[in-house]
Chain A
Amino acid sequence: MGKICPLMGPKMSAFCMVMSVWGVIFLGLLGVFFYIQAVTLFPDLHFEGEGKVPSSVIDAKYNEKATQCWIAAGLYAVTLIAVFWQNKYNTQQIF
C-alpha cells in the first residue's frame, strides 16, 4: 500500500488522534452541560446589549451553544477518521 496524501508522520497523527478522541468526548459532554443549562457555564454565554435578558433568550442561547458544541464534536469525529486513516497508511516518518 503506497502513501496516500501523506500529511503527517506517526507522532503527529498519534497526537491528533488523542486530541480528536478527547475533543469528541469533551465537546460532547460540554454540549450536554449546555443543554441541561448548567449554571457554571452561564459566564460563558455572551449576550448583546445591556439590561435585563428574558429567560427565553437565555434558554435559546444555551441550546444554541449546545448545538454548536455537538457540531464541533462531530467535526472532531470526522478529524478522528481522517487522522486514523493517515496513521494507518503513513506509518513511515516523512520528515
Chain B
Amino acid sequence: MIASSAESSGISDVLSADEEELTARFSDAMSPLKLQLRFVAGVIQRERLPAFERLLWRACRGNVFLRTSEIDDVLNDTVTGDPVNKCVFIIFFQGDQLKTKVKKICEGFRATLYPCPDTPQERREMSIGVMTRIEDLKTVLGQTQDHRHRVLVAASKNVRMWLTKVRKIKSIYHTLNLFNIDVTQKCLIAEVWCPIAELDRIKMALKRGTDESGSQVPSILNRMETHEAPPTYNKTNKFTKGFQNIVDAYGIATYREINPAPYTMISFPFLFAVMFGDMGHGVIMFLAALFFILKEKQLEAARIKDEIFQTFFGGRYVIFLMGVFSIYTGFMYNDVFSKSINTFGSSWRNSIPESVIDKYLDTEKGGETQLMLFPELAFDGNPYPIGVDPVWNLAEGNKLSFLNSMKMKMSVLFGIAQMTFGVLLSYQNYTYFKSDLDIKYMFIPQMVFLSAIFIYLCLQIIAKWLFFGPFATTVLGYTYPGTNCAPSLLIGLINMFMMKSRNAGFVDEHGEQLPQCWLSTWYPGQSFFETIFVLVAIACVPVMLFGKPYFLWKEEKERREGGHRQLATIEVVLVVLALVQVPIMLFAKPYFLYHRKKQSQVRYSTLNDAATTSNQQSVRADIAQDDAEVVHAPEQTPKPAGGHGHGHGDGPLDMGDVMVYQAIHTIEFVLGCVSHTASYLRLWALSLAHAQLSDVLWTMVFRNAFVLDGYAGAVATYVLFFIFGSLSVFILVLMEGLSAFLHALRLHWVEFQSKFYGGLGYEFAPFSFEKILAEEREAEENL
C-alpha cells in the first residue's frame, strides 16, 4: 500500500518534470504526429533497468523513447517487506502495435504500470487525488499504530502476571496428570509424601479448596501404609539452611537417621576457626558476614547474579559464625595479624641478669646470640589466665616448637572428641532402629576400642598438661626432676603397642636422673594397664568382625529349623505315600490288563484303545499332582520376618554379603581410628600455615615501613599498609579461608560422619509455586 502510493507519487513527479520539456519539443517539431504519440508510465526495479532498456531498444528498433528517474526513497516490497530500489520510467511510442509490444515487455520485466491521463489538467487532478489519498492513509496508519501501542503498553503491565498465572496453571495440570483416574468412582487419586506434622494444614487447605470450588463432595485424605522408604525432610530456616546444605552436599540422610546438621552448626565453624585462628582476620570475616546479614533484604532484592557472590551470600550465617569463632580461637592463640596482645600480663620475666646481657653486647657480633630463659627461673608458676602467653610471640628460637606441640595435642583432643561423639550418635541410630545386634556387636566394641587406645591417649595428654609443670615435684607417686623428664607421649604410644619394658619413674633409688627419663612410665602400673588396654582393643576386632554375622547366621539357622519341624509330619506322610505308589505303579496296570483280557477275550480291537486311554488318564493325573505340588511349594518355606535393619531381612541370609559388609566396616573403623586421628592433625598443620603466612606478611612486607624515618616513613607506611591490607584480605582471609573451609568440610564429611551417617536417603521435594516460579525466572534471565 505504502509502496504503491509512493511509486505513484514518484511517477507524478517525473511526469511533471518531463512533461513540459517534452510537450514543448513535440509541439515545435512534430506537431502533425502529436495526436498519435502516446506513452505508458510505471516503475521497475533498478537492477532490471539496463536489460529493460536494451530490450525495448532492440524489440522496438529504436522507435520508442524511454526516460527514467531514480526514486531516492528505498521502498519496501509489499509481500516480503525487503527493501528494494526502484526507478520510474516513461516510454513514448507511436501506434498500437508498439503499445502492445511495450506493454508485453513491461510485463515481462515485472514493471508496474500506472495509468496516466493524457492532459495535464487531469494529471494534476489525479496527482492531487493521490496526494489526498496518501494523507488519509497516513492518518489511518498513525492511528492504527497508536492504538496498537496503547494495547501493547496495557498488555505489558499485565504480561508478568499472566505468565505467572500460566506457569502456575501449567504446573498444576502437570501434577494433575500424574494422578490416577478411578473410572468407577469418577475421581482422581494421588499418592503423595507429606510431613505428618503438616497433615492438619493440608486438610485445612483441601477443605478450603472444596469450599472455594463450590463442590459438594469433599476431598478425602487417607494415610496409607507403604514399604517404600519415605523421603527425608529436614525443616530449615535461613540460619540452619547453610549448615544443612553442608551435610546434604555429602548425602541426604537416610529416612529417620540422625541428622548431624545441628552439631555441625557448632563444630564446623569451630574446626574452621582452629585452622584460621587470628583475631584480625576473624574480625574482617565477621564484619563482611555482618554486612551481608544486615543488608540481607537489599542484597536479596538486588538479585546479583554473580556466582561467587551468591556462594558467599548464601553462606553468610556460616561465615558469620566462622568469623566469630575465629576471633575466639585467635584470642586463644593470642594472634592479631601475627602479633600478640599482653592482656593479663605475661607469666614470664627476664631471668638473665643485665650484666650478662651487657657482656654479650660488648663483644663483637654478641648482639646476635640467642639466650635461653629456663622455665624454672623465668616462669612465675601461674600460667597466663587464658590463651597462649604473649611471650611466645617474641621467642624466636622455640616459638614454633612450643606452638606446634600445643596445637598438635589440641588437634588430637578435638579429633578424638568429635569421633567419639560420632560413635555415640551411631548409638542413637541403633536404638532408634531397634537394632540390638548393632548395639552389642558394633557400638560397644567400637567404644571399647576407641577408649582403650585413643581416649586413653587423650587422657595422657591432659594429664601431661596438668601434672608436668616447670618445677621439680612429685607427680603421681614418682619424683619428677624437671621439664626435661616430661613423658614423651608419642614414643610412649608406640611403646604401648610394642609392649616394651620400660623404667618406672624418672629417677633411680639414689635420686639420680635416669638416662632417657622421658621414656619412662610415669604412673604406677602403667605397663600393666597399657598391656590390658592393647589386649582389649585387639580383642574387640574379632568381636566387631564376626559378632554380628555369627548371630545373624544363628538366627537364620534357628528359623529354618523351626520351619522344618512344623513340616516334619507332612514330609513323613508324603514319603509314605510315595513309597506306597511304587508298587501301585509297578503292578496296577499289568493286573488290570490281565483282568480285562480274561473278561473279554473276543473284542481284541477295542482292547488296545482302552489301554491307551487309561494310560493317558494316568499321565494327566500325574500332571495334576505335579501342579498341586508346585503351587504348594512356596507356601512351605516361611518368609523370614523383618530383619534387624541391615537390609538383609527380606531375602534368605547371604552369608557372603554379610561377611564382606561387616569386614569392610570393621577394617574401615579400626584403620579409620588411626588414620582419622592422624587426619585431624590437619587442624594443626593449617593453623601453623596460617600463622606463618601472616607472620611472613608482616615481617617481609609491613615491617619495611618502619625502616624509613620521618615523612618518607609515613608515606611508606601509607603505601605498605595498602599492600599489606590487600594481601591480608585476598590471600589470608579469602584463600586461606577457603582452604580451611574445605578442610573443615572434609573433617565433617569423612572423619565425623563416617562414624554414624548413612546418607542414603533422598530429598523431600514438595510441590511449590515459589520454586517453580524461581526456576522459570532464572531460565528467563539466562536467555
Contact = CB atoms under 8 A, between A and B. Distances in A.
A65 B339 CA distance: 17
B112 interface: no
A69 B725 contact: no
B725 A52 contact: no
Given A41-B339, A51-B361, A68 B726 contact: no
Contacts of A23: 718, 721-722, 725
Contacts of B557: none
B706 A19 contact: no
Contact of A72 (B340, B361, B390, B717): B717
Interface stretch (A1-9, A42-50, A87-95): A42-50
A81 interface: no
Contacts of A46: 706-707
A71 to B, nearest CB: 4
Interface string B290-314: 0000000000000000000000000
Contacts of A64: 709, 713
A26 B714 contact: no
Interface string B346-370: 0000000000001001100101000
Contacts of B342: 38-40
A19 B722 CA distance: 7
Task: Give the interface SS of chain A, mostly helix, strand, loop or mixed.
Answer: helix
Q: How large is the interface on B (under 10, 10 to 19, 20 to 34, 35 or more residues)?
A: 20 to 34
A82 interface: no
A27 B722 CA distance: 11
Contacts of B361: 51-52
A51 B367 contact: yes
Contacts, number: 67
A45 B362 CA distance: 21
B394 interface: yes
Contact of A27 (B394, B709, B710, B721): B721
A76 B719 CA distance: 10
Nearest to B291: A18
B393 interface: yes
A19 B724 CA distance: 10
B25 interface: no
B594 interface: no
B67 interface: no
A35 interface: no
Interface of B: 339-342, 358, 361-362, 365, 367, 390, 393-394, 699, 703, 705-707, 709-711, 713-715, 717-718, 721-722, 725-726
29 contacts: A19-B722, A19-B726, A23-B721, A23-B725, A26-B721, A27-B717, A38-B342, A39-B394, A40-B339, A40-B394, A43-B699, A43-B703, A44-B703, A44-B706, A51-B361, A51-B362, A51-B367, A52-B358, A52-B362, A64-B709, A64-B713, A65-B706, A68-B706, A72-B705, A72-B714, A72-B721, A75-B714, A75-B715, A76-B718
Given A23-B725, A64-B709, A68-B714, 10 more contacts: A19-B726, A40-B394, A43-B699, A44-B706, A50-B367, A68-B705, A68-B709, A68-B717, A71-B711, A72-B714
Interface of A: 19, 22-23, 26-27, 38-46, 50-52, 64-65, 67-69, 71-72, 75-76
Closest 8 CB pairs of A and B: A71-B714, A72-B717, A72-B718, A52-B361, A68-B713, A75-B718, A46-B707, A68-B714
